Amino acid sequence: MFRLWAKIFKDNRLLCDTVICDSREDTRTHKVFHALDEVCSQFDLGRPLWLDANIREFQKHSRARFYHDSFIEQIDFDYLEIQMLEEDD
């Protein structure tokens, strides 16, 4: 089972979170992109841009933070964090 945890923070406080589960047969990258799309839909956000720093952070730590510069529209929080909870074996 693939699970990704998404959290929105403002002023070092957790505003909301969700866990996306995906049991489809697909690549890790496709599952991450699909989960991020689902997160953005649930939180009513535009899809963030994957900057080089986000990609490196996610590859190294299975976690990424999307700040203001990753979003095209104005956001009213400090950052969106995604974190891998469980990957398929």
3-state SS track over 22-87: ECCCCCHHHHHHHHHHHHHHHHCCCCCCCCHHHHHHHHHHCEEEECHHHCCCCCCCCEEEEEEEEC
Per-residue pLDDT tens over the stretch 72-89: 999 999 999 999 998 875
Per-residue pLDDT tens over the stretch 3-19: 999 999 999 999 999 99
> How many angstroms separate the CA atoms of 18 and 60, rounded?
22
> How many angstroms separate the CA atoms of 22 and 77, rounded?
27
* Number of domains, the chain: 1
Cβ contacts of residue 11 below 8 Å, gap of 6+? 78
pTM for this model (two decimals): 0.91
